[in-house]
């Protein structure tokens, strides 16, 4: 007899308006196994999960069986009653509450108001945590826990059986904000669950994690199923090929420029950066070059821009043409060193939504647009008119409130704000996030034009397209260190993914390629 099937979903399609987001997807999970669902952002993973959780009703024709029993679609209550439990990426915890209070939120631990003494409640909560092999102080505030401990609380809450038995635990990208050691500890929890007989559906885009953790995997791309694999029988590269699709190699040649020669001048020499994720990373940037920085969340890629711009704290030892810094960079000292930072327009500290375009542009340079403390309207208008024209920011109204602009135009304002300070090193963090396709192209042109003017550009991005489209050199970060440096024609989506997902290649003490 074949092993029993805990979840059998067939012919799941989902369209929003005219767009088919899921196209006849099927998913079969054996009881007691860890099954992975892999795909890039936008591949349909989250939509499939939302269909299973009852949040989105699927298009007609879908059949979902849980333990062989037909699951009514489109009802979160029915999904929960059938034993499907979900831990979403943001975990849904309340940081200001304690572990116990969070566990009680959805469970029965506190509902039999009269009966249980706090002692027996504690015991039940401990038992829940014990099932996943975790010991936590029940009175600790959840906001103070490490990322893996927070995940543990969310999982413990999900597996609580007081509303009926759990059949399948669905974990949606639980490792997004975790360091490698924290990921290990989470994996231990998941394996513990498996050994107790539970079935797990694990959603991720990190291939190495999946190969290590899961028994079987389903790949999604553009809403279509790309196959069902046993992780012991599939190779990394085959899996990556499935995720990206076969046509990836035919992508238009990128506009990389190979630097003239090694040993050209540097405009930024980083001897060492150590921060929350970064571990003694060292690199150099050259004037006229666009240096890409790739890495998963938590690899240090996401931390680097803020550190170089003085916005987040880290131990830094670096030199630019304007001088050096050894210790902590501040916003002011980064500015003196000629480093300009541009956060993505979706970042809350990037721009002031309530300010006009002009006010946003001029905020860092008020000293030059004012005389004796009084702002000169004329010089502000001059600055604004210049940038509105130069970067083609629309509408051409300097006194429009920033929040009335589109994402792409906001991003251009953020760029202009930094460029007005004439940085020698321009550090960009996810410059195309929240930006549509057309604006993306013009932002690439702006960046390239600056590099041509001799600015050293450092482009940190979670969007591989940014890196393959305009970067001359790409540093791949894993676990806070640079594991590979790609140049010119070597820069491809596949090469970048291969490197940034290559946590296995890290030897404990050091890193070199």
Partner 1 sequence: MTELGTDLPPTADPKPPAKATPVRAIRAVLGFGSIGAIYVWIAIIVLFSIWIPGLFLTTNTVTQILDEYSISAIVALALVLPLSAGVYDLSVGSVMGLTGIVAGALLGHSGLPVVIIVLLSVLCGAAAGLLNAVVVVWIGLNSFIATLATGSIIAAVTLGASGQVILTTGLSGPFSKFASTSVGNIQLPFFYMIVIAILIWLLLSRTVMGRRVYASGFNPNAARLAGVSVGRITTFALIMSGILAGFAGVALASRVQAADPSAGPTYLIPAFSAAFLGATQFRRGRFNPWGTLVAVFMIGTGSQGLLLAGAPQWTPQLFQGVVLIFAVGLTVVAKRDRSK
Residues of this chain that bind partner 1 (CB under 8 A)? 16-19, 21, 40, 42, 222, 309, 311, 331-332, 335, 341, 343, 348-355, 359, 362-364, 366-367, 370, 373-375, 394-397, 405-406, 409, 417, 436-438, 465
User: Quick one: 287 or 344, whose CB is closer to partner 1?
Assistant: 344
Closest distance to partner 1 from the beta carbon of 450 (Å):
19
Stated as kind and residue range, the H or E segment containing 153 is helix 147-159
Helix 493-500, helix 236-244: angle, nearest 10: 130
Give the SS3 label for residue 101: helix
CB of 387 to partner 1, least distance (A): 15
| Distance between CA atoms of residues 507 and 513, nearest Å | 11
Least Cβ distance, residue 22 to partner 1 (angstroms): 13
CA distance 103 to 110: 9
Measured N-to-C along each axis, helices 377-390 and 407-419 cross at an angle, to the nearest 10 degrees, of 120
Closest CA relative to residue 212, chosen from 181, 191, 243, 226? 191
Q: How far apart are CA 256 and CA 241, in angstroms?
A: 23
Q: How far is the CB of 440 from partner 1 (least distance, A)?
A: 9
Q: Closest CB to partner 1 among 394 and 448?
A: 394
State the nearest-atom distance from the C-beta of 70 to partner 1, in Å.
Answer: 31
Nearest approach, Cβ of residue 493 and partner 1 (Å)? 9
Tell me the two tokens of residue 188.
């231990």
- Cα–Cα nearest to 68, from 155, 13, 14, 2: 2
CA distance 289 to 224: 39
C-beta closer to partner 1: residue 214 or 357: 357
Question: Of the two residues 189 and 361, which places its CB atom closer to partner 1 in the complex?
Answer: 361
Q: Cα separation of 288 and 266, whole Å? A: 10
Smallest distance from partner 1 to CB 352, Å: 5
Q: 241 vs 259, which CB is nearer to partner 1?
A: 241
Quickly tell me which residue has 């821009």 as its tokens: 305
Considering the complex, state which of residue 108 and residue 404 has its C-beta at the smaller distance from partner 1: 404
- Cβ distance to partner 1 smaller for residue 104 or 440: 440
């Amino acid at each position: 007899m074949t092993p029993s099937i805990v979840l059998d979903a067939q012919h799941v399609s989902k369209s929003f308006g005219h767009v088919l987001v899921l196209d006849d997807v099927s998913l079969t999970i054996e009881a007691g196994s860890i099954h992975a669902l892999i795909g890039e952002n936008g591949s349909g993973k989250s939509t499939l999960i939302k269909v299973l959780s009852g949040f989105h009703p699927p298009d007609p024709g879908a059949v979902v069986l849980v333990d062989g029993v037909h699951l009514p679609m489109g009802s979160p209550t029915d999904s929960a009653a059938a034993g499907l439990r979900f831990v979403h990426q943001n975990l849904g915890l309340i940081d200001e509450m304690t572990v116990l209070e969070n566990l009680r939120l959805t469970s029965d631990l506190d509902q039999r108001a009269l009966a249980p003494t706090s002692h027996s409640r504690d015991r039940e909560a401990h038992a829940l945590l014990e099932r996943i092999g975790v010991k936590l102080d029940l009175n600790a505030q959840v906001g103070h826990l490490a990322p893996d401990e927070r995940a543990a609380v969310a999982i413990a809450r999900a597996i609580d059986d007081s509303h009926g038995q759990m059949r399948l635990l669905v974990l949606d990208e639980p490792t997004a904000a975790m360091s490698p050691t924290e990921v290990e500890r989470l994996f231990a929890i998941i394996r513990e669950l498996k050994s107790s007989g539970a079935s797990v559906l694990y959603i991720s885009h990190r291939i190495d994690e999946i190969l290590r953790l899961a028994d079987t995997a389903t790949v999604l791309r553009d809403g279509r199923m790309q196959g069902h694999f046993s992780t012991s029988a599939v190779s990394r590269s085959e899996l990556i090929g499935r995720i990206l699709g076969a046509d990836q190699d035919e992508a238009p040649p990128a506009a990389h420029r190979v630097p003239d020669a090694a040993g050209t001048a540097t405009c930024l020499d980083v001897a060492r950066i150590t921060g929350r994720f970064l571990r003694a990373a060292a690199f150099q940037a050259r004037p006229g070059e666009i240096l890409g920085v790739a890495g998963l969340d938590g690899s240090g890629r996401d931390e680097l821009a803020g550190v170089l711009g003085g916005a987040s704290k880290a131990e830094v030892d670096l030199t630019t043409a304007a001088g050096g810094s050894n210790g902590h960079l501040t916003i002011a000292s980064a500015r003196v060193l000629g480093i300009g930072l541009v956060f993505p327009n979706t970042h809350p500290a990037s721009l002031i939504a309530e300010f006009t375009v002009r006010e946003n542009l001029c905020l860092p340079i008020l000293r030059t647009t004012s005389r004796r403390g009084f702002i000169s309207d004329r010089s502000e208008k001059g600055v604004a008119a210049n940038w509105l024209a130069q970067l083609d920011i629309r509408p051409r109204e300097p006194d429009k409130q920033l929040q009335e602009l589109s994402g792409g135009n906001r991003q251009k304002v953020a760029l202009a704000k930094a460029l007005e300070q004439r940085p020698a090193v321009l550090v960009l963090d996810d410059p195309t996030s929240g930006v549509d396709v057309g604006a993306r192209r013009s932002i690439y042109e702006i960046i390239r034009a600056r590099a041509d003017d001799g600015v050293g550009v450092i482009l940190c991005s979670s969007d591989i397209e940014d890196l393959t489209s305009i970067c001359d050199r790409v540093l791949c970060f894993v676990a806070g260190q640079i594991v590979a440096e790609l140049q010119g024609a070597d820069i491809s989506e596949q090469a970048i993914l291969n490197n940034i997902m290559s946590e296995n290649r890290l030897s404990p003490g050091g890193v070199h390629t």
